[in-house]
Chain A
Amino acid sequence: MESIISVKGLGKTYAGGFTALKNVDLDIRRGEIFALLGPNGAGKTTLISIICGIVNPTGGSVTADGCDIIRDFRAARSKIGLVPQELATDAFESVLATVTFSRGLFGKSPDPAYIEKLLRQLSLWEKKDSKIMALSGGMKRRVMIAKALSHEPAILFLDEPSAGVDVELRQDMWEMVRGLRESGVTIILTTHYIEEAEEMADRVGVINHGEVVLVEEKNTLMQKMGEKELSLHLPEPLQQVPEALRDLPLTLNDDGSRLIYRFDIKSNDTGITELLRRLNEAEIEFRDLHTRESSLEEIFVGLVRGEREEKAEQLTKETLE
């Protein structure tokens, strides 16, 4: 599929010497919802800020819809809308004035009909004459989205869009994001709410310590890296995993009331038949069973922790050498 954003060898080292991005390569496909995940300080906001023109890169290049963000900044920026993480608004301005300002700033001629449609879509029309400082946090977040969409961008960056937003608004926002994708807008979101990425994203990228650790289709990622768990509810709690079953990937939960068996989703032989036969032979009964897949959050934590451990191992090795 065609890339709408292409990041090549992007690096950023701040004046103090901190390297926020290390040789990042990333392609965002046209029309997709891409979730960029990473712990605090991983480099997500720096990456977005460079693409949007707020931060200067120290190396590499970025194109947005084929336009270089530095050489052809006008064309590149006019295609991008940004909803930053912080609720930065013109407190004394009215909703209508601030959204109209944003459209003009991005070089678009006035279009009151479009602005009205946008404000209605975001349930802001009734508040169009209200000063922003009089709005709730959720409403302010909507205003930020309206500002970012005021110039009809082809690419929308949402940096932690659900931060400080109540459940109802979050659902509305997800709905709106899906609607935007339907209309052809490419959406890149960073989030701490993994369920948000799990719910909406087509692809997921994980960034850690300024490096893109992986980029994968969400479903493939969950299949590839996800585990499934079979939980057997025992009529009587056990103290430990029975001797006869110790060679199997079995664990007991804290109170010993459940035996948990982990298996690979993509494997042809899950070992469940063998497990059930061995339980029968060992005369261990169970009264219920259920299965559960690992969430994107568990995969993400596993990836980040795995990378940390790998780094620590490497460092120890280097120190010893």
Chain B
Amino acid sequence: MNWYGIRAIYKFEMARTGRTLMQSIASPVLSTSLYFIVFGAAIGSRMGDIDGISYGAFIIPGLLMLSLLSESISNASFGIFFPKFSGTIYEVLSAPVSAFEIVAGYVGAAATKSIILGLLILVTARFFVDYEIVHPFWMFGFLVLTALTFSMFGFVIGIWADDFQKLQVIPLMVVTPLTFLGGAFYSINMLPELWQKVILFNPVVYLISGFRWAFYGVSDVNVGISLGMTLLFLVLCMTGIWWIFRTGYRIKT
């Protein structure tokens, strides 16, 4: 195992975050805080409880998940896309590092950044909304698992994208709508019966539901199914990455 290689990629990516603190950390923390202020403190105080939880507290897991998904994808996709774009990918491809080590470096760094960001958002939320965490171990577990899974997904997008527009298409046109419709702001039990069934095809429902269970002990779907679906997506992403390195798709001719 080339540990120095993994460390070099990891440190390189983390240093990039250090150089772009405003964009990488401050901006998502600020935008999520605005949601807490508007929907939590202002509008939330005039709304009734959902499943016995105040509306401000209810939306925390969903908003956290929204930031976690978009930042994990964005960090990892940009991390691998930029060397492809600038041409410096030649160095990674010619180095004695295996596919696993490359992924460990890039995805590890992207997931770390997202986890740090998630924890910062959680701390910031405390200033605006009262909340509790019933299962802190599971909350952290879901946080790490989601960050890791969607960083892998971002890695796949970064390999697939051959211009900056494509880099943004999936996070903005697919992931964000799925998160908004996946129960970030409401319980799926509040939907008409037909839509309650349709929405189960949205994979983000399972992520938010599981995460909310870890916070408050209530969920829209069984927590075991949530965990299973997250793991399934992780396996799908791992398979995608394995195929990319096996075939050299868009990285090797």
Contacts and interface: CB of A to CB of B under 8 A. Distances in A.
B88 A105 contact: no
B86 A104 contact: no
A92 B15 CA distance: 11
A100 B90 CA distance: 17
A77 B93 CA distance: 10
Contacts of B91: 82, 102, 105, 147
A107 interface: yes
B253 A55 contact: yes
Interface stretch (B3-11, B36-44, B177-185): B3-11
Interface in A92-127: 92-93, 97, 100-109
Interface stretch (B53-61, B94-102, B110-118, B203-211): B94-102
B contacts with A: majority SS:
helix
A54 B90 contact: yes
A320 interface: no
A101 B12 contact: yes
Contacts of A80: 94
Nearest to A104: B8
A105 B253 contact: no
Interface in A39-67: 52-56
B100 to A, nearest CB: 12
A107 B86 contact: no
Contact of A107 (B87, B96, B248): B96
B252 A86 contact: no
Nearest to B248: A56
Given A77-B94, A90-B88, A107 B2 contact: yes
A82 to B, nearest CB: 5
B19 interface: yes
A100 B16 CA distance: 15
A90 B8 contact: no
A269 to B, nearest CB: 53
B92 interface: yes
A138 interface: no
Contacts of B97: 105, 107
Interface in A114-172: 147
Contacts of B11: 101, 104
Contacts of A52: 90, 93-94
A276 interface: no
Contacts of B4: 103-109
B88 A89 contact: yes
Interface in B44-93: 86-88, 90-93
Nearest to A100: B8
The CB with the most chain A CB atoms within 10 A, among B87, B90, B94, is that of B94
Contacts of A100: 8
Interface string B16-36: 100100000000000000000
A244 to B, nearest CB: 62
Contact of A89 (B5, B9, B86, B253): B86
A80 B95 CA distance: 9
Given A80-B94, A107-B2, A88 B86 contact: yes
27 contacts: A52-B93, A53-B94, A54-B90, A54-B94, A54-B252, A55-B253, A73-B96, A74-B96, A77-B94, A77-B95, A84-B87, A88-B88, A90-B86, A90-B88, A91-B86, A92-B19, A97-B15, A102-B8, A102-B91, A103-B8, A104-B11, A105-B4, A105-B8, A106-B95, A107-B2, A107-B5, A109-B4
Given A88-B86, A107-B95, 16 more contacts: A52-B90, A53-B94, A56-B252, A56-B253, A77-B95, A82-B94, A84-B90, A88-B90, A93-B15, A100-B8, A103-B4, A104-B4, A104-B11, A105-B91, A106-B96, A147-B91
The 5 tightest CB contacts between A and B, nearest first, are A104-B8, A88-B87, A74-B96, A77-B96, A52-B94
